[in-house]
Structure 1
Amino acid sequence: MSRLLQKVIAVLFCIGLISSFKSTDNPIVEIYKQPTANIESRVQDLLKKMTLEEKVAQMRMFHANKGVEFSEDGKLELSEVVKEKLTIGIGGIKNPGEHNTPEEAAELNNQLQKYIIENSRLGIPGFFVTESYNGVDAEGCTSFGRPINMASTYNRELVKRVYDAVGREARLRGLHLTHSPEADIVRDPRFGRMSEAFSEDTYLTTQMIINAVNGLQGDTEGLSATHIGAVTKHFAGYAQLSGGTNFASIEISPRTLIDEIFPPFEAAVKEANTLGIMASHGDLNGIASHANPWLLTEVLRDQWKFEGYVVSDANDIGRLHYFMKVAETQEEAALLGLLAGVDVDLYAEDAYALLPKMVKENPELMQYIDRSAARVLRTKFILGLFENPYVKVKKAKKEVRTAAHLTLAREADRESIVLLTNNGVLPLDGNKNMTLALVGPSLDETVKEQFASVVGENVQLVSEKGFDLTNKRRGIPELTEEKLQKEGIQKIINTAQNADVIVAVVGGDEYTSKEGFFTHAFGDRDSIDPVGLQDELILELKKLGKPVVIVLKHRRTLSVNTFAKEADALLDCWDLSEEGNYAIAEVLFGQVNPSGKLPVTVPRSIGQIPFHYSQKEINYKKGYLFAENTPLFDFGYGLSYTQFEYSDITLSDSNMTVDSYLTASVTITNTGDVKGKEVAQLYIKDLIGTVVRPMQELKGFEKIEIAPGESIQVSFKISPKMLEYTGLDMKKNLGIGDFELRIGRSSADFKTANFTLKSGKI
């Protein structure tokens, strides 16, 4: 071999050796895999590498019931349908592991994520999604009270702590997003989903939404590891349904939409940075929400600068064709959803699944697919799924449904229970020997056990449910036949007749108020009276001559006229947590002083609807013949075991300008002999507007604890922003002119002071 050839071989060997060192020690890492690169660069880098089919796959989500299971020996089992879907990746999967323990779910979701990453070309992780009406909607998680219970607390900080716990428990299971909370305003108690939302009031709902989203997301900082993303829903106007029935049309004036319906959603976007938005099932004045570019793009994106992703409600893009009938074909339905701004298609096989073929026929659609796929990818980068796709399984067992979270659930229950009536029978004296009868169709199996741990050995408990309200059929339940109800009432009477005090647990349950799914399910009612013979039960119990305390459990507002008239005391508990019966017992026996306030108005009859406290003032001019024309219970109402006295309002000034503010203060004194919490509520009434104005609007509240004999000053800052409304020209109007300011214990019990907003300097 010549010396020259030897030199060439040596040089080539060295070059190869150097190259091998470079590729091993300093590999070229693609931008989307670089944790330190900015998210937008990572999104665009990944997007450029994806095929059309892979992009569309990121815009789709299916339910785990398609075939994601955990075998008895702890192995992931996927159906062939699911395996086929995952070959090109997936945007997300709904409810994987929902029927497993937290530890099992964490292991399942780790294995599922690993399969998704390793069996798709680019290794893009999926996001796993849950719901959270009573905490994480999954086996073994802490069951908290419903959103409407949260609003009854009027306690922002407490609500945030509850949702922080929910966000942590979900992430520990390997979940990443929740299709919650609901920012809908609920004003029609015929609607079965009432308790999934917070309130009839715009301001109260807005405050709850801000704290719920911040809690779930760990103030945004927790999104990459410890918490989950909130998908605020249903945008917009859901719950304002004609006749109160699910899927019915929605008619809302543009002014009402802007002033009353939009604010909780706008706050979720601008103040709480919600990661996602879910579009509404319904239409909005004839325009299907999933095909409404004004709503989903102009308002949400252009005006509010929302940067997250929009997901459809279940199958609703396809329903633009076969239900809403605003699209002649399935392809047109997919096109309408895409152009409007829906990024992710939930469940459907007849909508975005058609996009690859549609793009080949119409290449201009590619820009919209890129837009939506980018939003999904951005969400995954924010959630830290590329760096931290897996969770620590043992932590799920240790940190989900902890003693601390159960204590938190009970704390929220205590503050959400509303004392509606009390003739002095409450609180009960647990030091006296007594027999307490726990009776009624809303009695659950844990009531007697949980009461027993609270009331002590002096109180003997007897219980009798009597009858079920329905046959508990999931889709369309039927009321228990009258004969069986009457037999049940007699059983209750036989049990209660020798008791000293009767606690009747009545109202409703998960079958008398629920979501009316698209097919084969009802959940709404044409009456708001308690179902069945519950009024008759209370009347029969009263004949025994014993004190009757009613514990009202329900998921919709009920016209409880007989309950309110006959009960010696009436507690409104809505739908409490798994710790709820402990909290009820604590309130009944005075270990806890009730402090909840109504987040809704309680009408006397269905004929009064609409009957929210903030209706236009002209609605109060006339009532109905032969009827009391006041609410049964007012918005913001709730009693205590002590009494609170409000001083007159002190204003820092009687005038303010558009660039100043004033302060309104009251002194609240506990004139009773026990410590209690009071919710001071601020309402403002616009005396003269350019359009017809509401009777009053809640604009602030503060919950404070006051010792017996103690006085505390509560102050509210009144800013021009609080006085805004949409005027005659459909633009925001600062409401120049005179206002009445109200501070008190409810929307019907307050002190007043007047002030004037001037356009120039004072």
Structure 2
Amino acid sequence: MSDRVEALLAELTLREKVAQLAGLWVGAGDSGEDVAPYQHDMSSDPPVWDDVIKDGLGQLTRPFGTRPVEATAGARSLAAAQRQIMAANRFGIPAIAHDECLTGFAAYGATIYPTPLAWGATFDPSLVEEMAARIGADMRSVGTHLGLAPVLDVTRDYRWGRTEETIGEDPYLVGTIGTAYVRGLQHGGVHATLKHFAGYSASRAGRNLAPVSMGPQELADVILPPFEMAVIEGGARTVMNSYAEIDGVPVAADGELLTTLLRDQWGFDGTVVADYFAIAFLRTLHQVAGTDGEAAALAMKAGIDVELPTVNTYAEALIAEVEEGRLDISYVDRAVRRVLRQKDSLGLLDGWSPEPRGPIDLDSAGNRSIAARLAEESIVLVANDGVLPVAPGKKVALVGSRGMDPHAMLGCYTFPMHIGPRYPGTEDGVPILSLAEALVAQGIDLKTAEGCAVDEDSVDGFDEAITAATEADVVIVAVGDRAGLFGRGTSGEGCDVETLALPGRQAELVDAVLGTGTPAVLVLLSGRPYALGRFADRAAAIVQAFFPGQEGVPALARVLTGAVNPSGRLPVSLPRSEGAQPGTYLHQPLAGPSKVSSVDPTALFPFGHGTSYTTFEWSDAQADRSSMPTDGTVTVKVTVRNTGPRDGTEIVQLYLGDPVATVTRPVTRLIGYHRVDIPAGEARTVEFTAHADLTSFATRTGVRVVEPGAIELRLAPSSRDIHTTLPITLTGQVRAVDHTRTLRCSSRVVS
């Protein structure tokens, strides 16, 4: 591969080289609405196809995720475009076609899977990997090579609109689930793109594309580990930079992150692509460059190889920087070499595969089956006084707009929510039910009343909702979010919030329904956790679903009626107060409740929490040793018995406490978990083997170390409800570790 790429690189002119370093987005602005931030600020004149492709082209941007295109016709159109690109350049090199795939292939008619926050709720990497393999295979079947997922940002402030795109608030959970997604997508034949490297989710006040105030230890111990795992273990082939600026340094111009850490230390040898328009933002938003050429040179030196989504600075501006001696040609060669290697690994230097002959189905029965399993596993039964499952014959009222709207199941990067609004009258492309329709299909005697919209001021429907609740045996109150983009929703990219109060008048609706005295089930269909402290003591049950996709409503109906025993666990804490920020469980002792502050940030329900329709009893927790060297391992195990009336699933979680360290450490943090199915009346013993490397942390000097001293291993069903604490002493010398350390805890069922 190397000789072939080097020979080709030697033949390319400067213009042909630069042509390999940019994407082209055809038709993105046809409807006049932005698909990406500042899209219409970048250029008043869209690039001319023939002019752009005459020297070659690096990437084609979102050929399926820009407008409604039927799969087979789209694949043929893409193949035709590739033939034109190959014919136009001297060496017949096609473009890499990339598209979004955050909740499945974001194409018209493709299966819509649960959102990443729902993946986190499953604690099931193997099922996420299975999903991703299908997504990859579907994308490759139509000629797509690169998927813009997974998002590995660890959520730090739930007010951030893109919380729904994250896998959760814990770096170990994000890393293990995200790495599984990378493996699956790449097994399906499509290169994964790690987003957004790094720091994007820690913006001030949870505002999108805002400055980040973060020290090097938080960056090293919370933000970077998921990316490290996905590179080292997952073999990810592409990384996308973060829009963030960390302590005044824009990531798009940060060679310490994009080259020294990512490549020199971790050994990443793929391509780094720019988040959309991020290079131009160095001039327009960050103001660290005075011209497009300066911005291009800064980004290229830092390590960004490809400009997306369309031709902008990596064009004439970049060529001028080289020709006028301000940028050494070696930087361009470095980037082109990486791009050609990627194209070679995808088979693109061997020509273009034939266009499809028969129809392509992007929403197969197999896809929908996996989507349904994921949705079922992701739904969290947060609290239940026995009203669930809904007993047969009960009169049920369904109140709240989220119960009437099929789109209540969909996140912002699904095709109907991301692109659909730009094409009014276009159908969703896949069948999606409302919760009301799904409950009726389950045989429920149902009366409905909307009550109020998601984010409007009208309360005209309250009286009807109260009447419906009063006349029912059980009332289900379905509230939450409407996903959208850039302020057009209550959750999603650019849809940040000031507090964690339910949007609009929904909290008042819940209060009104609870006031009727009818047993009420509060169902949250949302992209972020909301403060539920004012409702928790009055609701008979609480169910949380994080945008569970096209099969989410039937799955939710099966949970509510008892056909499915819920097994999801919270990937983010549910806050008590609307304004207690930040609220993640991963905090140092000083960030907890204290006698010197009137604000108690303790979550209402903690990370990892969830219950079911059966009961579990934990016993016989033990470790095989009470001390180990700083390069050793310890094995712990616990027996879990299903003492309830039906088969169920428990998520056994292993947490680490480090009572004394040279820098402040989190009170507790997840280092292992195992999802185990246990038939009624039976028991299973779960065993974890933890390496001392998992106790490592970044010191004040930036060196990652394992320190001798006392630690605690905590076996628990959630981050707060510790069953057993096992004290362990680490012995020996302080040991420095790097990316070659053990990154995960192994686990298995031993009986």
Q: TM-score, with normalisation over the residues of structure 1?
A: 0.87
Match of 1:233 among 189, 195, 206: 195
Structure 1 residues not aligned, in runs of 5+ = 1-38, 70-78, 471-479
Counterpart amino acid of residue 113 in structure 1: Q
Deviation, 1:694, is 1.2
Q: 1:363 to 1:635 in 2, by over 3 A?
A: closer
1:743 aligns with 2:715: yes
CA distance in 1, matches of 2:91, 2:703: 48
Structure 1 counterpart SS, 2:461: helix
Farther off after superposition, 155-164 or 532-541: 532-541
Q: 1:629 to 1:91 in 2, by over 3 A?
A: closer
Matches within 5 A, 1:52-71: 52-65=14-27
Q: 1:688 to 1:514 in 2, by over 3 A?
A: farther
Question: 1:239-267 CA deviation, whole Å, 9 max, x = no partner?
Answer: 10011111211121111211221111111
CA distance in 2, matches of 1:397, 1:245: 40
Deviation, 1:40, is 1.2
Q: Which residue of 2 aligns with 1:505?
A: 478
Question: 1:14-72 CA deviation, whole Å, 9 max, x = no partner?
Answer: xxxxxxxxxxxxxxxxxxxxxxxxx2122112111211111101100122225999xxx
Counterpart amino acid of residue 375 in structure 1: R
CA distance in 2, matches of 1:747, 1:338: 43
Q: 1:346 to 1:661 in 2, by over 3 A?
A: same
1:467 aligns with 2:430: no
Q: Which residue of 1 aligns with 2:572?
A: 600
Match of 1:90 among 57, 66, 79: 57
Deviation, 1:562, is 3.0
Contact kept? 1:234, 1:278, Cα under 8 Å: yes
Q: Which residue of 2 aligns with 1:382?
A: 345
Contact kept? 1:602, 1:631, Cα under 8 Å: yes
Q: What is the count of residue pairs matched by the alignment?
A: 688
Contact kept? 2:297, 2:327, Cα under 8 Å: no
RMSD over aligned Cα atoms: 2.3
CA distance in 2, matches of 1:65, 1:743: 53
Structure 2 counterpart SS, 1:462: strand
Counterpart amino acid of residue 180 in structure 1: A
1:695 aligns with 2:667: yes
CA distance in 2, matches of 1:259, 1:366: 36
1:587 aligns with 2:587: no
In terms of Rg, which structure is larger?
1
CA distance in 1, matches of 2:396, 2:354: 48
Structure 2 counterpart SS, 1:541: helix
Contact kept? 2:453, 2:504, Cα under 8 Å: no
1:753 aligns with 2:740: no
Farther off after superposition, 644-653 or 437-446: 437-446
Contact kept? 1:193, 1:514, Cα under 8 Å: no
Deviation, 1:547, is 2.1
Matches within 5 A, 1:166-205: 166-205=135-174
Counterpart amino acid of residue 385 in structure 1: L
Deviation, 1:270, is 1.1
Question: 1:196-222 CA deviation, whole Å, 9 max, x = no partner?
Answer: 11111111111011101001100xxx5
Structure 2 residues not aligned, in runs of 5+ = 32-45, 407-432, 735-751
Farther off after superposition, 377-386 or 357-366: 357-366
Structure 1 counterpart SS, 2:570: coil
1:451 aligns with 2:438: yes
Q: Which residue of 1 aligns with 2:363?
A: 401
Structure 2 counterpart SS, 1:317: helix
Contact kept? 1:67, 1:82, Cα under 8 Å: no
1:160 aligns with 2:145: no
1:131 aligns with 2:100: yes
CA distance in 2, matches of 1:268, 1:660: 24
Contact kept? 2:593, 2:600, Cα under 8 Å: no
Contact kept? 1:151, 1:204, Cα under 8 Å: yes
Q: 1:706 to 1:527 in 2, by over 3 A?
A: same
Deviation, 1:729, is 3.8
1:303 aligns with 2:275: no
1:104 aligns with 2:73: yes
Q: Which residue of 1 aligns with 2:414?
A: none
Matches within 5 A, 1:233-312: 233-312=195-274
Q: 1:506 to 1:402 in 2, by over 3 A?
A: same
CA distance in 2, matches of 1:292, 1:85: 29
Matches within 5 A, 1:135-150: 135-150=104-119
Structure 1 counterpart SS, 2:231: helix
Contact kept? 1:559, 1:605, Cα under 8 Å: yes
Deviation, 1:539, is 2.3
Contact kept? 1:724, 1:734, Cα under 8 Å: yes
Q: Which residue of 2 aligns with 1:330?
A: 292
CA distance in 2, matches of 1:395, 1:134: 26
Contact kept? 2:580, 2:599, Cα under 8 Å: no
Q: 1:339 to 1:516 in 2, by over 3 A?
A: farther
Q: Which residue of 2 aligns with 1:11?
A: none
Structure 2 counterpart SS, 1:599: coil
Q: Which residue of 1 aligns with 2:175?
A: 206
Q: Of the two structures, which has the highest relative contact order with CA contacts closer than 8 Å and spacing of 6 or more?
A: 2
Deviation, 1:577, is 1.1
CA distance in 2, matches of 1:752, 1:392: 59
CA distance in 1, matches of 2:586, 2:374: 27
Counterpart amino acid of residue 756 in structure 1: T
Match of 2:400 among 440, 448, 453: 440
Contact kept? 2:211, 2:244, Cα under 8 Å: yes
CA distance in 2, matches of 1:134, 1:396: 23
Counterpart amino acid of residue 290 in structure 1: A
Matches within 5 A, 1:356-755: 356-362=319-325, 365-387=328-350, 389-390=352-353, 393-394=356-357, 397-398=360-361, 400-429=362-391, 432-443=392-403, 444-445=405-406, 446-448=433-435, 450-452=437-439, 454-456=441-443, 459-470=444-455, 480=456, 482=457, 484=458, 486-511=459-484, 522-620=494-592, 622=594, 629-750=601-722, 751-755=724-728
Q: TM-score, with normalisation over the residues of structure 2?
A: 0.88
Q: 1:113 to 1:563 in 2, by over 3 A?
A: farther
Deviation, 1:617, is 2.0
Deviation, 1:628, is 5.1
Contact kept? 1:172, 1:392, Cα under 8 Å: no
CA distance in 2, matches of 1:215, 1:704: 22
Aligned residues: percent identity?
A: 34
Farther off after superposition, 231-240 or 108-117: 108-117
Counterpart amino acid of residue 371 in structure 1: R
